[in-house]
Structure formats: structure tokens, C-alpha cells
A and B are shown apart, each in its own frame.
Chain A
Amino acid sequence: MISVKGLTKKFGSLEVLKGIDAEISKGDVICVIGPSGSGKSTFLRCLNLLEKPDGGTIIFEGDDLTSKNIDLNVHRRKMGMVFQQFNLFPHMTVLRNLTCAPVMLKKADKETAEAKAMDLLSRIGLAEKANVFPDKLSGGQKQRVAICRALCMEPDVMLFDEPTSALDPEMVGEVLDVMKALAGEGMTMVVVTHEMGFAREVSNRVLFLDEGVIMEEGTPDEIFGAPKCERLQSFLAKVL
């Protein structure tokens, strides 16, 4: 579904990604782990071109997103993104947060979008919050709404950038549960996370990113059970 080849990215003279290759297939749940500053967010943000790569290609459903003559907006509609800081739209109600993009981009008419949104909200138990503004929600509720907002566009893949890092510990679980359910439904997901438990339990492949390259990659059992490279071993020793 997504095929990344030789991806490089620099910020000024700082080389953050130094040639990343990754293959993401339909139904994959891929967790990206690694030390702070290793380029995990940058890698994820390159996937939907929120950061413009300096080199390499990103083939998404057959189209090279890095080529010039491509309508990124159309492709982004098929890639949902969930941010560490939620980034809900504070000037819109929860319901409008969900329906705003599908209606504006003519993916659905207002009634259909609202029905879909209410369905998503009731599945996470937040239907009664449909008409409140985001500032009235707890962090965990905000992040679950943010996930629904992305889902409302019916994306083919969901990108998560540390979705639970800004949450109070007691709210991490409710967000991870929604993500697990999503994975269970077969959604393709790329998740940057520090939640090793989630990576172990839910993902089918783990990428260890360090110093701008994927140092090691494998199934959760391989990565957590028998880490090969030394940097991964010392990283895991620190976080587990």
C-alpha cells in the first residue's frame, strides 16, 4: 500500500532521515519506536508530505507522492493522521470537527456525514458530546474525537504520531483501546509510540528508528524478545 524507498530529509544542515526503506501492506499495524529526536515524527510526517522529503520516493496506492504533478490533497484524504497534541478545531463543535472536511471536500453531503459522525462517536461512547466544543473534553476524549475526525474521511491508512504522549496516564488506556479496536477491524496503521505494551500486543511489525535510519525491523517477538543490534538492546533496557 505504501512503499518508501531511500527517503531522506534535512532541516538546514541537520540530516534527520538518511535513507529509509519501508514497505507497508494493507492491514499492517506497524509501530515505529526509537529514541527521542531520532526522526520518528519526521518519518511519519513525510508519509503524507506534511514534511517535504529531500530525496527518495513514497509510492502510495501506485502513485509517487513525491512527484511534482500530483494532487496531494486527493491522496491525503485517504491518509488519516492523529497528532500528539490532538489539534482539534477549537472553534467547532465535536460534530463539526468530524463533518467539516468530508462536507467541504464533497465526500459526503451534510446528512450522510453527520450520520457517519454520530455512528463513530457512539461507538467510542461520546455521542452525547457531539454538540460541545473541544475545550470541554478531557485529553483522552479529545484524542478519541481526533481519531474519529480522521476516520470520517474513510481513509485507507491511519498515521499516529505519539497519540498518547500528551495524555495523563489514566487516559492512555481509553485511547489505546480505540486503536486496538481499529486494528482489529483491519485498518492499516502506522503508529509512532512509546507504548511498548501496545507495540508488542497489537502490531505485526516494529521498526526501530535511530540516527535517521531503520536500524532493526521485525515482528514484535523478534524486536522485543531477541533484539539483535546493540542500540536497540540499550534502548529497550531504558524504556522497558
Chain B
Amino acid sequence: MQEWIAKLNETFIESGYYKFMLEGLGNTVIITLGALLIGVIIGTLIAVVKYFAEDSKIMKPLAALCDVYVTVIRGIPVVVLLLIFYFIILTSAEGILVAVITFGINSGAYMAELIRSGLGAVDKGQMEAGRSLGMSKMQAMRKIVLPQAIRYILPAIGNEMIALLKETSVAGYVAVVDLTRAGNLTRNNTHDAVNPLMVVAVTYLLIVVVLSRLLKILERRLSGNDKR
């Protein structure tokens, strides 16, 4: 035990690599949150377009475009997307920016479906009541339907965030020092084959466990007091 603590001290503290690991953790958090934000925005836009396309001819081509986007994104592994964005599309951007954008675009495709089913869970009569009062579709969406859909959508977004956090561990492919890559580099440079990766694994695990707990609480709240 004492030996192990000494080893940890040597690998992380004395070498100064703990700073490096913290920086990696910071980048992982930045990529996850940034991508989540982009994903929510893209997902909401697609979901709203598809919601309206059900009874609007004008929206149909737009909805078809969204379908193409979702199909393409879902059909390509995220690492490949990441490489395409880094080496072909956003060649002059920094790795971390590329990672945020790529994971955001990727997650938007998945989020669209989640948000759409949330909107679909709100009674159709709500939109009609809004429209009958003279609200436009967008006004009724913003003030009436979306606020009610949130309680179906939030838990799903929480799950997506957990998945996203873990997915970002491939960001190292485009020269980003995220938590995983920081661990791997530490392993390389300190010749400690075990502890850096263990620390990385435990850190992910801890974050996921904490997020899951928070999510459980949130879900209970949202279903508990039904109408806020």
C-alpha cells in the first residue's frame, strides 16, 4: 500500500504530470459541454422542423434534408468524422475546436430523435389551443409545447451527456490532450504502465456515477411534481 502511494506520488506529483492530467480533464469537460450545447441546438432545430413537417408542405424538403443529415452522421463512426473534420474540412482550426464541433454535430443527430419524441409526447391539443388564440406555430412551439416537452427531454439529454463524455475519449486522434490522451502520455513518459490508465478509468467512472445520480434526482423531480 505504502509502495503504491509512493509510486503514485512519483508518477503524478513529483513529475508534475498531475497538472497535465488536470488539463486533460478540463479539455474533456470543455468538449463534452460544448458539444452538448451544439447538439441540443441542432437537435432542437431538426426536431422542430420535423414536428411541423407533419402538416406543412413547405417544411417537407427541409425535413428531408434533416433526414439525410441524421442518416449520414449516424452511419459514420465518430472517429472517422473527427478525422474528416480535422484533416479535410476545418484544416486550420485547433484540435479542441474541431472536437467540439464534430462531437456537437454528431450528437445533434442523436439528440434530434430524443427531442422529437419529447415534442410528440405533448398533447396535440396544446398546439391547437395556442393556434386558436392566434399564436403562430413558432410562438406556440416556444411558449406552449417546448416548455412542456422539456420534462420528457431533459432526462434523455442527461443520458446523451453521459454517452458523450465517454465518446470524447477518442479526441486524442486529432491532437487534443483530453483526459484519455493525458493519461496515455503520462504512461509513456513516466514508465508507469498501470496507474495513469487506472486513474483515467476511475475518473470517467466517478463522473458518470455522479451524473447518473443527479439524473435520477432530476427525473424523480420532473415526474414527481407533474405540473411544476
Contacts and interface: CB of A to CB of B under 8 A. Distances in A.
A79 interface: yes
Given A133-B227, A133-B228, A135-B226, A87 B125 contact: yes
> Do most interface residues of chain B lie in helix, strand or loop, or is the interface mixed?
helix
A150 B131 CA distance: 11
Interface of A: 48, 50, 73-77, 79-81, 83, 85, 87-91, 100-101, 104-105, 133-135, 149-150, 153
B123 interface: yes
Nearest to A76: B134
A104 B143 CA distance: 9
Contacts of A104: 135, 139, 143
Q: A-B pairs with the 4 shortest C-beta distances?
A: A77-B134, A101-B133, A81-B132, A87-B129
Interface string B142-175: 0110011000000000000000000000000000
B128 interface: yes
20 contacts: A75-B134, A76-B133, A76-B134, A80-B132, A81-B129, A83-B125, A83-B128, A87-B125, A87-B129, A89-B126, A89-B129, A90-B148, A91-B227, A100-B133, A100-B143, A101-B133, A104-B135, A104-B139, A104-B143, A105-B134
A50 B133 CA distance: 11
Interface of B: 123, 125-126, 128-136, 139, 143-144, 147-148, 226-228
Nearest to B132: A81
Contacts of B125: 83, 85, 87
A143 B136 CA distance: 23
A80 B148 CA distance: 23
Nearest to B136: A73
Given A89-B130, A133-B228, 9 more contacts: A50-B131, A50-B132, A73-B131, A80-B133, A83-B125, A85-B123, A91-B227, A101-B130, A105-B133
A81 B132 CA distance: 6
A65 to B, nearest CB: 13
Contacts of B128: 50, 83, 87
Contacts of A79: 132
A101 B131 CA distance: 10
Contacts of A134: 227
A19 to B, nearest CB: 24
Given A134-B227, A135-B227, A91 B147 contact: yes
A87 B134 contact: no
Contacts of B126: 87, 89
A134 B144 CA distance: 14
Contacts of B147: 91
